[in-house]
Amino acid sequence: MSLADDSPPIHPAMLLNRTSAEPDIWVVIGSPAVHVNGAPLDTGIRVLRDRDELRLDGHRTFFSTETLAMVVPFPGERPTLCPRCKLQIIPGSPAVRCPRCGIWHHQSAEFPCWLYSSTCTNCDQPTAIDADFRWSPETL
Ligand SMILES: [Zn+2]
Ligand SMILES: [Zn+2]
């Protein structure tokens, strides 16, 4: 989860992650001075959805659940097939989960499968590691 640049201090509101289950549920808690998609937060609490607009004291920001690609030890309990090279990704080996479609790819010196192409094998997610967020309000 992230807030766009020029984030207002979301204060007195705060964001809470309600669950560790997927998909994550985020709620904003704050005073009626906080507006979500133009509506005052008059109940003091609201579940946020991806791309909701938050406004406070003339500042504006957007909530996004988009995540960045990261190389992590493959957390699966069983090997899964890498869509790029069609070989198994062994649990614990360096891998990247596409933040868009969720497909795992190898990513190591031996198997640079995620970075092999400019986009994911399965979707159009750019493969740059720690790439800028794809979505920003300007592209709407
Ligand atoms: Zn591979
Ligand atoms: Zn993908």
Per-position DSSP letters for 53-99, written without gaps between them: EEEETTEEEEEE------EEE---SS-EE-TTT--EE-TTSEEEE-T
Q: What is the mean pLDDT of residues 18-40?
A: 75
* 41 has pLDDT over 50: yes
Q: What is the pLDDT of residues 87-101, one digit of tens each?
A: 999 999 999 998 889
Nearest ligand, CA 134 = 2
Q: What is the pLDDT of residues 108-134, one digit of tens each?
A: 999 999 999 999 999 998 887 654 555
Beta pairing partners, 72: 95
Q: What is the pLDDT of residues 49-58, one digit of tens each?
A: 878 888 888 7
* 40 has pLDDT over 70: yes
Nearest ligand, CA 105 = 1
| Cα 96 to ligand 2 centre (Å) | 10
Band (19; pLDDT cuts 50, 70, 90): very low
SS3 40: strand
| Cα 121 to ligand 2 centre (Å) | 6
| Cα 70 to ligand 1 centre (Å) | 15
Q: What is the mean pLDDT of residues 28-32?
A: 84
Report the predicted TM-score, pTM, of the whole model to 2 decimal places.
Answer: 0.53
Q: Following CA atoms 133, 135, 139, 140 in sequence, which dihedral angle do they give, to the nearest 10 degrees?
A: -160
